[in-house]
């Protein structure tokens, strides 16, 4: 199946445009969509390379679904262009875009068996019965539902329904697969398992996926590329690594995981380094790219809890050290999370593998490596 | 009001006043329509979402079902009383004076002009139901799923006939089609069928809209994202789930068409007379035996149609469920 799909895809791609590594497959250019007065999607632009797993991440109501539905052709943008495979598709009706969609609620047809659901797209495009049956069978095998072809959707578990929905879209060998929170209706354990299955599937097929989620763990673990959206805008787009360690705004830093955001003031800029004062202390950190800094500028120091470590109060200097007092802590299984009061501010510190070390309590030292501190504007 | 308008027409032949009264009726209906649109604006009634599930029915308390059973029994008793006397009268010489069994009334109504009237009733009813139900469904889809301008106007037009007494529907058709070159319409009974179709559209239309509201839009969208045009998606995905709406439209149109007097009373000609007209005439002639036999035959037709539809519906695909 993987081979079949891949061959078909390569053929399709070859006949259209020669594939270049890193070629842009999907481009949104200043796209705006309003419902009434307030824009649901506000002048967004981004590019998705061919064959990548691209994720739109953001809180509920930020415009992710609206964006995806514009790509699918269910909404017309008020402004801007949507370009797929080098072709502007704004005026192409949904059923001719070659963009299959997997819905949050799966949208399986309740009056059709699993086989008929998966074969529906092929039937519509007039594929002969023999060929159709063969491809449906292969696809069902591929998504691990080989034996369930003659079941009805209501006889399947949530996870199985989700696989049928994915299979139903994949069987058409679409140019691009759009997925709107496909895992959000499943329980936590299955969600994590299907996450890996989806990622493996995408890599085997080399297909472009545009994935929508509000779950930052999901986005970070699945994606080649993430666009974080807020209030109808793309706040930042980049690799999961960039998004996590070099967020551009405090909204972003906060949205993709627990973070310490400490207000400070720029004292001095020295080449690649910048000296920032916070409270009574100063720290010298790497100068962030793409941010114009001058002495006197208000900034925030952004540092992830796992990049900090606790030491006994009189420990040797190790990078930068802050004296603090443990305010409270929470055992989270794989780590112990401490809230430590330093100069009247609470810092979050994560200690990995809590079973291997003694707990901290009372006065401690918070050790931080300056290279793990990231400066953001504000 | 309806009676008043009727007497204006039948008593005084005063079409202008009658038209004015009908206009008032229409205005009242319009007010109700606006209220309805306000009331259900923006609400969701989706029961068929894309996630398939099976739900057990909640239990009904015993006292409640006994109370309902008692109430229904009383109603049934009264209905049986009415229909029972009809049937007895149809099979006796002169009910209630001479209750000797006879089938002569039926021999009478199946012969000659009466037979033609019965056949016309069946043909017109079937024709009206066959066209009205799919038309109503398609209209419901266009209005409920469409995004084009002017849907509201179509919605209003499709509901309006429900507010118009059948009599005015007939009068309207007579006035509108009273042209020499349109005579072929009325002579073949086409005019009666048209009137029956549009007079009954609101029921099928409302059933279609109610059915569509229960089906999540992601169903249509899934079909479209798999390459089906919206019409194709309607046919393959929505239509099979709207079987019950289609049946409601069909059966209601048929039953109302074979039992209406008011719509046809101004439209029939000697060749296109129907059962209800004959019943009316026989009652005027005080031929109770013939009138009740006709009524029994007419109701029999409606019951047979209901029975056939019920049997057909048994092999249906239940909404959101496996094959029943
Ligand atoms: N069909 C619609 N009509 C009116 N408003 C809508 C519609 N769809 C979305 N919105 C509004 O647009 C905003 C973005 O919605 P959506 O794209 O669904 O967000 P997300 O998927 O990120 O949760 C929300 O404020 C929502 O209320
Ligand atoms: Mg959404």
Range 142-201 of A in CB contact (< 8 A) with B: 152-156, 158, 161, 165, 168-169, 172, 178, 185
Among residues B179, B225, B175, B211, the alpha carbon closest in space to that of B195 is found at B175
Instruction: Note the ipTM here.
Output: 0.79
The answer to whether residues A103 and A40 belong to one domain is yes
Q: What is the mean pLDDT of residues B113-135?
A: 94
Given a cut of 70, whether residue B166 has pLDDT beyond it is yes
Helices B243-259 and B190-213 cross at an angle (nearest 10°) of 150
Among residues B144, B157, B119, the alpha carbon closest in space to that of B45 is found at B144
3 state SS of A353: coil
Q: Which residues, 6+ apart, have CB-to-CB distance to B25 below 8 Å?
A: B1, B2, B5, B163, B164, B165, B168
pTM for the structure as a whole:
0.79
Among residues B311, B131, B114, B222, the alpha carbon closest in space to that of A124 is found at B222
The answer to whether residues A143 and A201 belong to one domain is yes
Given a cut of 80, whether residue B32 has pLDDT beyond it is no
Number of helices (H), then strands (E), belonging to chain B: the values are 15, 2
For A261, other C-beta atoms within 10 Å of its C-beta total 14
Report the distance separating Cα A106 and Cα B50, nearest Å: 5
Whether residue A103 and residue B221 make contact (CB cut-off 8 A), yes or no, is yes
The answer to whether A355 and A332 are in contact (CB under 8 A) is no
Q: What is the CATH number for A91? A: 3.40.50.300
Distance of CA B165 to the CA centre of its chain: 13
Residue B32 half-sphere exposure toward CB, CA atoms < 13 A: 10
Among residues A140, A136, A160, A143, the alpha carbon closest in space to that of A200 is found at A143
**Closest-approaching ligand to the CA atom of A40:** 1
3 state SS of A337: strand
Beta strands A79-84 and A345-352, pairing class: unpaired
Chain B positions in Cβ-Cβ contact with residue A165 (cut-off 8 Å): 50
User: What pLDDT, in 10s, does the model give residues A32-52?
Assistant: 999 988 899 999 999 999 999
Sequence-ordered alpha helix ranges (H) in A86-155:
114-124, 129-142
Number of domains into which chain A is organized: 2
Give kind and range of the element (H or E) at residue B37: helix B15-40
Atom of ligand 1 nearest to the CA of A67: 17
Structure tokens at B35: 């209220």
Decide which of B15 and A113 is more confident: A113
Q: What is the mean pLDDT of residues B154-160?
A: 90
Report the distance separating Cα B50 and Cα A105, nearest Å: 5
What domains can you pick out in chain B, each with its CATH number? 61-102 (no CATH), 106-323 (1.10.3720.10)
- Of A250, A271, A289, the last residue of a domain is A250
Report the distance separating Cα A74 and Cα B221, nearest Å: 7
By the 10 Å C-beta count (0-12 exposed, 13-18 middle, 19+ buried), B81 is classed as exposed
A35 pocket-lining for ligand 1 (C-beta < 6 Å) = yes
Residue B17: which pLDDT band, with cuts at 50, 70 and 90? low
The answer to whether residues A122 and A83 belong to one domain is yes
Report the distance separating Cα A207 and Cα A155, nearest Å: 30
The DSSP secondary-structure symbol of B182 reads G
Decide which of B127 and A288 is more confident: B127
Given a cut of 90, whether residue B76 has pLDDT beyond it is yes
Range 123-182 of B in CB contact (< 8 A) with A: none
For B1, other C-beta atoms within 10 Å of its C-beta total 11
pLDDT of residue A64: 96
Spans in chain A with pLDDT lower than 70: 1-21, 314-319
In chain B, where do the E strands start and end? 92-94, 98-101
Phi first, then psi: what are they for B136, rounded to 5°? Answer: -60, -40
User: What pLDDT, in 10s, does the model give residues A284-301?
Assistant: 888 887 778 888 889 999
The answer to whether residues A170 and A301 belong to one domain is no
Given a cut of 60, whether residue B221 has pLDDT beyond it is yes
Report the distance separating Cα A183 and Cα A187, nearest Å: 9
The answer to whether B257 and A200 are in contact (CB under 8 A) is no
Whether residue B229 and residue A93 make contact (CB cut-off 8 A), yes or no, is yes
A230 pocket-lining for ligand 1 (C-beta < 6 Å) = no
Report the distance separating Cα B185 and Cα B29, nearest Å: 30
Could you tell me how many residues make up chain B?
Answer: 324
pLDDT of residue A287: 86
The answer to whether residues A194 and A266 belong to one domain is no
Q: Which residues, 6+ apart, have CB-to-CB distance to B241 below 8 Å?
A: A110, A111, B48, B211, B215, B219, B317, B319
Report the distance separating Cα B136 and Cα B249, nearest Å: 7
Provide the mean pLDDT of chain A.
88
Report the distance separating Cα A27 and Cα A22, nearest Å: 13
The answer to whether residues A161 and A274 belong to one domain is no
- Of A222, A250, A278, the last residue of a domain is A250
For B150, other C-beta atoms within 10 Å of its C-beta total 9
Decide which of B23 and B260 is more confident: B260
pLDDT of residue A16: 42
A241 C-alpha to ligand 1 centroid (Å): 29
Q: Which residues, 6+ apart, have CB-to-CB distance to B61 below 8 Å?
A: none
Given a cut of 90, whether residue B69 has pLDDT beyond it is yes
The answer to whether residues A157 and A55 belong to one domain is yes
The answer to whether residues A371 and A243 belong to one domain is no
Residue B268: which pLDDT band, with cuts at 50, 70 and 90? confident
Radius of gyration in angstroms for the set of CA atoms belonging to chain A, rounded to a whole number: 25
The answer to whether residues A356 and A286 belong to one domain is yes
Provide the mean pLDDT of chain B.
84
A93 interfacial to chain B (CB closer than 8 Å): yes
State which of A40, A70, A232 you would mutate to test the pocket of ligand 1, scoring each by most atoms of that ligand within 8 A of its C-beta.
A40
State the smallest CA–CA distance between residue B320 and chain A in angstroms. 5
Given a cut of 90, whether residue B310 has pLDDT beyond it is no
The answer to whether residues A151 and A241 belong to one domain is yes
The answer to whether residues A243 and A267 belong to one domain is no
Q: What is the mean pLDDT of residues B145-151?
A: 88
Report the distance separating Cα A140 and Cα A336, nearest Å: 43
Radius of gyration in angstroms for the set of CA atoms belonging to chain B, rounded to a whole number: 23
The answer to whether residues A186 and A212 belong to one domain is yes
What domain range includes position A330?
258-376
Handedness of CA B132, B137, B138, B141 (dihedral sign): positive
By the 10 Å C-beta count (0-12 exposed, 13-18 middle, 19+ buried), B284 is classed as exposed
- Of A250, A275, A291, the last residue of a domain is A250
3 state SS of B264: coil
Closest CA to ligand 1's atom 13: A40
User: What pLDDT, in 10s, does the model give residues A148-162?
Assistant: 999 999 999 989 999
State which of A35, A55, A214 you would mutate to test the pocket of ligand 1, scoring each by most atoms of that ligand within 8 A of its C-beta.
A35
What percentage of chain B has pLDDT greater than the value 90? 41
Q: What is the CATH number for A332? A: 2.40.50.140
């Amino acid at each position: 199946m993987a081979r079949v799909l891949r061959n078909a895809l390569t053929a399709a791609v070859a006949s259209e445009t020669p594939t270049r590594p890193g070629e842009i497959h999907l481009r949104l250019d200043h796209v705006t969509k309003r419902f009434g007065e307030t824009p649901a999607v506000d002048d967004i632009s981004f590019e998705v390379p061919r064959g990548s797993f691209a994720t739109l991440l953001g809180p509920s109501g930020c415009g992710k679904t609206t964006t995806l539905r514009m790509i699918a052709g269910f909404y017309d943008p008020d402004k801007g262009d949507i370009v797929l495979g080098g072709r502007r598709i704004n005026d192409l009706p949904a059923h001719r875009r070659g963009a299959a969609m997997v819905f949050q609620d799966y949208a399986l047809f309740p009056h059709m068996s699993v086989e008929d659901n998966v074969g529906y797209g092929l039937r519509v495009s007039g594929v002969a019965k023999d060929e159709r049956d063969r491809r449906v069978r292969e696809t069902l095998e591929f998504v691990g539902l080989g034996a369930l072809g003659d079941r009805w959707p209501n006889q399947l578990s949530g996870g199985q329904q989700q696989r049928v929905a994915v299979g139903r879209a994949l069987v058409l060998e679409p140019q691009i697969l759009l997925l709107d929170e496909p895992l959000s209706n499943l329980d936590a354990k299955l969600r994590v398992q299907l996450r890996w299955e989806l990622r493996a599937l995408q890599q085997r097929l080399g297909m472009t996926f545009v994935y929508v989620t509000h779950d930052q763990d999901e986005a970070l673990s699945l994606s080649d590329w993430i666009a974080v959206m807020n209030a109808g805008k793309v706040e930042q787009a980049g690799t999961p690594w960039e998004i996590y360690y070099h967020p551009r705004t405090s909204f972003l830093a906060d949205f993709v995981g627990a973070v310490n955001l400490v207000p400070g003031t720029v004292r001095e800029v020295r080449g690649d380094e910048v000296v920032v004062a916070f409270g009574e202390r100063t720290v010298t950190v790497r100068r962030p790219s793409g941010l114009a800094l001058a002495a006197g500028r208000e900034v925030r120091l952004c540092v992830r809890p796992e990049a900090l470590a606790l030491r006994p109060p009189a420990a040797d200097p190790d990078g930068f050290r802050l004296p603090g007092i443990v305010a409270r802590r929470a055992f989270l299984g794989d780590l112990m999370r401490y809230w430590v009061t330093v100069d009247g501010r609470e810092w979050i510190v994560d200690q990995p593998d809590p079973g291997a070390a003694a707990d901290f309590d009372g006065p401690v030292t918070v050790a931080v490596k300056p290279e793990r501190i990231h400066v953001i504007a504000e | 009001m309806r009676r008043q308008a009727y007497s204006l027409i039948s008593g005084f032949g005063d079409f202008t006043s009658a038209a004015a009264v009908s206009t008032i009726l229409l205005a009242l209906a319009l007010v109700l329509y606006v209220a309805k649109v306000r009331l259900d604006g923006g609400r969701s009634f989706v029961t068929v979402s894309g996630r398939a599930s099976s739900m057990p029915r909640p239990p009904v308390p015993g006292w409640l079902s006994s109370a309902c059973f008692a109430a229904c029994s009383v109603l049934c008793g009264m209905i049986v009383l009415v229909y029972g006397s009809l049937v007895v009268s149809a099979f006796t010489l002169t009910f209630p004076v001479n209750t000797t069994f006879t089938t002569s009334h039926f021999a009478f109504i199946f012969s000659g002009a009466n037979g033609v009237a019965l056949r016309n009733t069946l043909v017109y009813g079937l024709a009206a139901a066959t066209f009205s139900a799919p038309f109503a469904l398609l209209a419901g889809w266009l209005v409920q799923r469409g995004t084009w301008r002017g849907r509201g106007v179509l919605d209003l037009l499709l509901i309006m006939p429900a507010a118009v007494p059948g009599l005015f529907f007939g009068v309207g058709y007579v006035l509108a089609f009273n042209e020499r070159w349109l005579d072929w319409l009325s002579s073949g009974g086409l005019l009666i069928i048209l009137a029956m179709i549009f007079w009954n559209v609101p029921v099928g239309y409302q059933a279609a809209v109610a059915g569509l509201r229960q089906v999540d839009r992601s169903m249509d969208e899934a079909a479209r994202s798999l390459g089906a045009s919206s019409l194709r998606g309607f046919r393959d995905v929505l239509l099979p789930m709207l079987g019950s709406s289609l049946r409601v439209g069909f059966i209601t149109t048929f039953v109302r068409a074979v039992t209406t007097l008011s719509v046809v009373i101004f439209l029939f000609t000697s060749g296109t007379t129907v059962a209800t007209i004959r019943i009316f005439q026989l009652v005027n002639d005080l031929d109770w035996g013939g009138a009740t036999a006709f009524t029994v035959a007419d109701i029999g037709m409606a019951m047979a149609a209901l029975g056939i539809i019920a049997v057909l519906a048994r092999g249906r695909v239940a909404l959101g469920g496996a094959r029943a």
